[in-house]
């Protein structure tokens, strides 16, 4: 787990009222669910809000092996004795601040059991193995994110879980906002940002290509970074965008046509 208090404000280009909504949720101790495709700024937004509210941020990247014990903690044997070791969720509840569970639907089903009492008005974390019942301090906030695009039947969030959260939808940014992100992140020139944003929009609009997910702002930021550093624009787009989107050679050729039409 990554725990940090960031005093610098990480750059975040807002799309609407999400900053205000987050602040109200925080003030009223409501947990927050952020849904949206990969690479559209969910994690950056949470980092920005933690710094803005001067809160520690505890981030847990969820994966399909993550169990409730991984989050809550377990007894470990060392030096002949058994010691209890807090998991990242327990640490976050003890210390306060924002606990951000990224891609929460990836985690095993039993993890939702420990989230429920934390995510409603009880705001408690029962630790069965130690018999503790931790009360979340006022400064604790639970934030989860997931990508509905990846979601399959088994991995969806249960209504009983979703209905404990205030929810926000993130989507691909407008052209103007995406251009600002590219310039804000890489200090590239506005012309290059416009071209990359146009490539992004054309790729997202392609109908006949078989992609699991379309190009994210993150990949456009990578392309801008490589080009700004002096790498050939076409090669930069191939490496940062096309090859990251597909393994299929015909699909890659179709995507490269869009790149070649621009540079």
Q: Is 227 in the site for ligand ADP (CB under 6 A)?
A: no
Contact map string, positions 96 to 135, toward ligand ADP, x by CB under 6 A: ----------------------------------------
Q: Which of 161, 185, 197, 214 binds ligand ADP (CB under 6 A)?
A: 185
Q: Minimum Å distance from CB 146 to ligand ADP?
A: 10
Residues 191-220 within binding reach of ligand ADP (CB under 6 A): 217-218
Q: Minimum Å distance from CB 43 to ligand ADP?
A: 3
Q: Cβ-closest residue to ligand ADP?
A: 41
- Three-state secondary structure readout of the chain: CEEECCCCCCCCCCCCCHHHHHHHHHHCCCCEEEECCCCCCHHHHHHHHHHHCCCCEEEEECCCCCCHHHHHEEEEEECCEEEEEECHHHHHHHHCEEEEEECHHHCCCHHHHHHHHHHCCCCEEEECCCCEEEECCCCEEEEEEECCCCCCCCCCCCHHHHCCCEEEECCCCCHHHHHHHHHHHHCCCHHHHHHHHHHHHHHHHCCCCCCCCCCCHHHHHHHHHHHHCCCCHHHHHHHHHHHHHCCCHHHHHHHHHHHHHHC
Stretch that binds ligand ADP, among 35-43, 89-97, 227-235, 253-261 (CB under 6 A): 35-43
Among residues 61 and 69, whose Cβ is nearest to ligand ADP?
61
Q: Tell me how many residues contact ligand ADP (CB under 6 A).
A: 16
Which residues of this chain interact with ligand ADP, rule CB under 6 A?
11-13, 36, 38-44, 181, 185, 217-218, 221
């Amino acid at each position: 787990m990554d725990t940090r208090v960031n005093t610098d404000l990480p750059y975040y280009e807002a799309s609407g009222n999400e900053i205000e909504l987050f602040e109200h949720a925080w003030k009223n101790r409501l947990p927050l669910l952020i849904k949206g495709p990969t690479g559209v700024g969910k994690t950056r937004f949470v980092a920005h809000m933690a710094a803005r509210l001067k809160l520690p941020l505890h981030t847990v990247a969820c994966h399909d092996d993550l169990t409730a014990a991984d989050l809550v903690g377990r007894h470990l044997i060392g030096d002949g004795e058994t010691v209890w070791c807090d998991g990242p969720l327990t640490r976050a509840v003890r210390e306060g601040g924002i606990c951000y569970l990224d891609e929460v639907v990836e985690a095993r089903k039993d993890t939702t059991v420990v989230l429920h009492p934390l995510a409603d008005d009880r705001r408690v974390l029962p630790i069965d193995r130690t018999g503790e019942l931790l009360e979340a301090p006022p400064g604790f906030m639970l934030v989860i994110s997931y990508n509905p695009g990846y979601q399959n039947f088994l991995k969806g969030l249960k209504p009983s879980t979703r209905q404990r959260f205030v929810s926000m939808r993130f989507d691909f940014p407008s052209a103007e906002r995406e251009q600002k992100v590219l310039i804000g992140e890489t200090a590239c020139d506005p012309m290059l940002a416009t071209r990359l944003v146009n490539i992004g929009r054309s790729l997202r609009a392609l109908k006949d290509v078989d992609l699991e997910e379309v190009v994210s702002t993150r990949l456009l930021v990578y392309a801008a970074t490589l080009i700004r550093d002096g790498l050939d624009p076409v090669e930069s787009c191939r490496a940062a965008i096309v090859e990251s989107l597909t393994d299929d050679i015909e699909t890659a050729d179709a995507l490269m046509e869009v790149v070649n039409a621009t540079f």
